[in-house]
Amino acid sequence: MATPQDENLTHFGYKTVLKEEKATKVAEVFHSVAAKYDLMNDLMSMGIHRLWKRFTITLSGVRRGMQVLDIAGGTGDLARAFARETGATGRVVLADINASMLNVGRDKLLDQGFTGVEYVQANAECLPFADNTFDVITIAFGLRNVTDKDAALRSMYRVLKPGGRLLVLEFSKPLYTPLSKIYDAYSFSILPAMGQMVTQDAESYRYLAESIRMHPDQETLKGMMANAGFVNCDYHNLTGGIVALHRGFK
């Protein structure tokens, strides 16, 4: 993953922007798509995102009474599953930097009867929780949007309990060249057109495709997690490496 030479600059998709501008630009993307976010997830992945998230729940090892933080939790798919697993004695916090996404997630889970989930608007780079708070932390399809990923991983490490685990579910690098070519054609042609049709916003989905290409590959992200302090880091390639689930322990 190429990095802009100026330390004050970062990537926003294929564009180079000032670091302080990126969070605002990402926020604009998710304000735009929040209302149709779940529908687009199903359309874009043909429903396979549900299997990726189910695998994440399985590897999380979540049990009754645990404290769980879902960062960039969006519309609450993981938080809902965690609430079922942790029960009345547990704690589930859905955190997101974007107020629109957080509101959609809150409304959705309340409508479904999940009244015990906590909602916190928070930046992953500086999480507003005490050290050693959570047994499990997840971030699904959110890390690539973070400006300083290393700072975010250190922040997650800090609030995780000793022995706790972090799971990062994110788009990654396809393992096979033919699959990669098909994926590129889909991402840069079909995906923006689908975004325009469903949300009247092709540009946000063009950013999505670009942000995926700029995200660290499997081995690079594994190294970043180790540098942040996590041990026994590993990853599982899903759907031919289009998505990878990284795991690390404190």
- In the annotated binding site for S-adenosyl-L-methionine, the residues are 75, 96, 123-124
Which residue matches tokens 């294929």?
Answer: 14
Q: Pull the structure tokens for residue 80.
A: 């809902």
* Contact residues for 238 (Cβ-Cβ < 8 A; gap 6+): 51, 52, 55, 244, 245
Annotated binding-site residue numbers: 75, 96, 123-124
Greatest CA span in the chain, whole angstroms? 49
Alpha-carbon separation of residue 144 from 64, 81, 162, 179, 213 (angstroms):
30, 23, 26, 21, 10
Beta-carbon contacts of 248 under 8 Å, excluding residues fewer than 6 positions away, are: 165, 166, 225, 226, 230, 231, 232, 233, 234
